[in-house]
Structure 1
Amino acid sequence: MAALLLQPGVRRREVWAWAMYDFANSGYTTVVITAVFSAYFVAVVAGNAPWATFAWTLALSVSYGLVMLTAPLVGAWADAHARKKRLLVLTTLGCVGFTVALYWAGPGALVLAIVALVLSNYFFGTGENLIAAFLPELARPRAMGRVSGWGWSLGYVGGLASLGACLAYINRAQAHGQQATAFVPATMLITAALFVLASLPTLFLLRERAVPQPGRPARNAWAQVRHTLGHLRQLPDLRRFLVCTVLYQAGIQAVITLAAIYAAQVFHFDTPHTILLVLVVNVTAAAGAFVFGHVQDRIGHVRAIAWTLIGWIAMVAIAWAAPDERMFWIAANLAGLCMGASQSAGRAMVGLLAPPAQQAEFFGLWGLAVKLASILGPLTYGAASWITRGDHRESLLVTGSYFVAGLWTLRGVRAGRGHRAARRFARVGA
């Protein structure tokens, strides 16, 4: 069975090792970005200042902007030197190290907190692009969706594991009378330690199968990037899908970033309810990534993504119209299912449409699209909320329009045609 799914010479344990990186790094986003440090930053580090939330979102936007600027260059350099693995080690150490630095981000330590947040999130985002670029080396084209789904589903399990470990520590600390200034910094150390331990299989077992490309030396990396961007017209399906990615990922990133705020402002969730929300959504997201990873290889990547976008649109409508907490929980679980499915399907789609010899470079462009969406979506929600004077329901509707636009753009993408174009692109040495 493995021979039908995996590339020649690839063993199952190596695929497991690759997927374990999703398990390892998901704790960072779940604990630091979503569930624990974000609220701590606003309430403690910035002292609930009026600009505290803006400072948080601005710091994240700066980090995403840095990833956008450097992702194509990093990818081009990795392709030229066949050094994805070495760069992955460096980005892992960078994210872990600056997550540890957040331990010292106490009350008033605003500069330290922002610098550590920007750099840890930068290394996280760059590592995401690098690990994704290994996918086509491991899975056959017809199985990329399934293998990608394994990684995404394991990633959500990793997020649950890290969040669960941190919450267990928090509950114990609170039982002993400790305050947030004591137990939240410790969760940064827990998250960093779990990241290191869970990434060891990846760093030791994952092989670098790419070969150096002497014709593309590092000093010409930017020239190669410009060359590739200029030739995207030869890859119209990939180009259109990257635009589609920016649109629907803008909606996804807004949901990820602001779901807790929406729950608190509209349905008055307290902290325990918010934590439970994150846990449940991670479970449904893991299920969505795993199940849909198998389904998308059978029904086709474009159709799979289209169905997930329809699901996102339904989720927005349900959450907007929800009269009470019960219907909002339905919307939240639907969001989790769609989140896992759409993230897995998007990564597999890029692997199918990217030229084989420039996988890291084109996955860098995919990462650029996702990071652009990470800036665009939340800022759109924030602007809509400001314009509507805090009407979060209307802000959600505005953000939901990104899913509609993404679905419309996806209509022109043909996976088979795009895959053939990528092969021609590689053969002519573009």
Structure 2
Amino acid sequence: MSLFSAQHLKAGVSGREVWSWAAFDFANSGYTTVVLTAVFNAYFVGVICGEASWATLLWTSIIAASNILAIVCMPLIGAATDLKANKKFWTVLMSLLCILGTVGLAFTGSGTVWLAVIMVIVSNFAYNIGETLNSAFLPEIADEKSMGKVSGWGWSFGYCGGLLTLGLSLAVVLFMQSKGAGAEDYVPYTMIITAAVFLVAALPLALWLKERAQPRTEAAFWTLVKQSQASLIETFKSLPQHKNFAWLVASGLSFQGGIAVVVTLAAVYADQAMGFTPDETILLVLLVNITAAIGAFAFGYVEDRIGHKNALIVTLLIWIAMVGVAYFAQTKPVFWIAANLAGIAMGSSQSAGRALVGVLAPPKDRAAFYSFWNMALWVANIIGPMTYGYITWLTDNDQRLALLCTGLFFVVGLILLLPMQLKHREG
């Protein structure tokens, strides 16, 4: 297991634990890939809502609602896990909730709007909480100088999970299409596949990852809630003392808005602006996941060599280039180039951001700081897609203009990142 060399890990951390931690990214990536990006979003708009004029706006509103719920709950959960040192318990609990919500999506079909709305909100809320808590394990297992590498391992392994889940789904779709089946016949099977892969791949974390944080209280539940609120307020008040972290959060709030558009609306853009068929869209996302896995893994090493901030700057420049290529693309091959640029930038930018939080967060408040970071990302996940949705609504479905406006999120994110300074050598 030479990949996980002891020089990259904290003392006492085994390679098996790092694999278990990374396996969680493998587990939940199938959910984002199949449910949010490639399959269920288009199914929701086209089948469940019957291609109603309000369908795309409703989809972005559902994602917004689940993110708002996470924003409300995550700071308290993050503060509570700092106090009780039980991130693993909450991560497993949220995983089970996301899996159950995904299974619930298998029972949706034409006209089942409310069932789909509830199941998406539940599953995406649980996904957000679980992903945040899993990220908070990074500083406990990775050596400070190798956070980029270890974070990159997780992201790249995660994209392999998305590849597996989407590949299995594509096989089912193509097989059932060859038998004359429609979306209402095969999409439920893709939801079951997604839930099953999530369940199996999350087991290593439940079994082998150790909780190294030390509890700070043995209080009863309601006392713990009050202490959690006090801890959250204290952390919030301390943010002005952590100006570099504040710049990072502001930058992430912007560039994640653009990433959220790509994740939640890529299938819609490919269909309506470029004329992709459903199986072409799935294949596109499948291959982009390969690019994203390679990008996340390779950039982890680049990041530790050139510095976390510089690596993030490079990825934002790639995002800006992607928007330009996609905006001017008139043929499918050119759009494929844009899609693979997005793949390279997607894993590397999110991995670099996660590593930077680990570098900047005080050890005793890591879960709380990761909560604030993810709160910014969730707000961005609301603003980005909703902005895109409203632009298409106001411009008679001008997808290209909406994409061009999306590029501004990356430009502003780059500008806000520039003032951030780290007090120690990054590489």
Tell me which of 68, 80, 83 is aligned to 1:80: 83
Tell me which of 240, 253, 257 is aligned to 1:233: 240
What does 1:327-346 align with in structure 2 at a 5 Å threshold?
Answer: 327-346=334-353
Distance 2:372 2:73 in 1: 10
Q: More displaced, 225-234 or 210-219? A: 210-219
In structure 2, the partner of 1:422 is none
Q: In the TM superposition, what is the alpha-carbon distance from 1:385 to its structure 2 partner?
A: 2.4
Distance 2:334 2:184 in 1: 35
What is the DSSP-based 3-state SS (H/G/I as helix, E as strand, rest coil) of the residue aligned with 2:373? helix
Per-residue CA shift, 1:7-63, capped at 9, x if unaligned? 010011110110000000011111111111112222222222222222211111100
In structure 2, the partner of 1:169 is 172
> Measured at CA, do residues 202 and 215 of structure 1 come closer, stay the same or move farther in structure 2, by a change above 3 Å?
closer
Q: Is the 8 A contact 2:60 2:389 kept in 1?
A: no
Distance 1:126 1:184 in 2: 26
In structure 2, the partner of 1:256 is 263
Distance 1:106 1:313 in 2: 37
Q: In the TM superposition, what is the alpha-carbon distance from 1:153 to its structure 2 partner?
A: 0.4
- Tell me the amino acid that sits aligned with residue 149 of structure 2: R
Q: Show structure 2 runs of 5+ residues with no match.
A: none
Q: In the TM superposition, what is the alpha-carbon distance from 1:215 to its structure 2 partner?
A: 9.1
Residue 12, structure 1, aligned to residue 15, structure 2: yes
Q: Is the 8 A contact 1:301 1:415 kept in 2?
A: no
In structure 2, the partner of 1:428 is none
In structure 2, the partner of 1:356 is 363
In structure 1, the partner of 2:383 is 376
Residue 48, structure 1, aligned to residue 51, structure 2: yes
Tell me which of 154, 159, 174 is aligned to 1:156: 159
In structure 2, the partner of 1:265 is 272
Distance 2:199 2:384 in 1: 31
In structure 2, the partner of 1:95 is 98
Distance 2:336 2:302 in 1: 25
What is the DSSP-based 3-state SS (H/G/I as helix, E as strand, rest coil) of the residue aligned with 2:130? helix
Q: Is the 8 A contact 1:80 1:218 kept in 2?
A: no
Distance 1:324 1:183 in 2: 29
Q: Is the 8 A contact 1:384 1:395 kept in 2?
A: yes
Q: In the TM superposition, what is the alpha-carbon distance from 1:121 to its structure 2 partner?
A: 0.6
Tell me which of 412, 416, 419 is aligned to 2:423: 416
- Among all aligned residue pairs of Structure 1 and Structure 2, give the percentage whose two residues are the same amino acid: 48
Distance 1:356 1:311 in 2: 32
Provide TM-score, normalisation by structure 2.
0.95
Residue 62, structure 1, aligned to residue 31, structure 2: no
- Tell me the amino acid that sits aligned with residue 321 of structure 2: A
Distance 1:330 1:209 in 2: 43
> Measured at CA, do residues 180 and 262 of structure 1 come closer, stay the same or move farther in structure 2, by a change above 3 Å?
closer
Q: In the TM superposition, what is the alpha-carbon distance from 1:70 to its structure 2 partner?
A: 1.2
Q: Is the 8 A contact 1:289 1:337 kept in 2?
A: yes
Residue 198, structure 1, aligned to residue 205, structure 2: no
Q: In the TM superposition, what is the alpha-carbon distance from 1:293 to its structure 2 partner?
A: 0.6
Q: Is the 8 A contact 2:315 2:345 kept in 1?
A: yes
CA RMSD of superposed structures (Å): 1.6
- Tell me the amino acid that sits aligned with residue 252 of structure 2: T
Tell me which of 162, 179, 187 is aligned to 1:184: 187
Per-residue CA shift, 1:325-376, capped at 9, x if unaligned? 2222111111110111101101101111111011111111111111111011
> Measured at CA, do residues 104 and 386 of structure 1 come closer, stay the same or move farther in structure 2, by a change above 3 Å?
closer
- Tell me the amino acid that sits aligned with residue 184 of structure 1: V
- Tell me the amino acid that sits aligned with residue 380 of structure 2: A
Q: In the TM superposition, what is the alpha-carbon distance from 1:154 to its structure 2 partner?
A: 0.7
Q: More displaced, 409-418 or 39-48? A: 409-418
Residue 285, structure 1, aligned to residue 285, structure 2: no
Q: In the TM superposition, what is the alpha-carbon distance from 1:417 to its structure 2 partner?
A: 5.8
Q: Show structure 1 runs of 5+ residues with no match.
A: 420-430
Provide TM-score, normalisation by structure 1.
0.94
Q: In the TM superposition, what is the alpha-carbon distance from 1:189 to its structure 2 partner?
A: 1.2
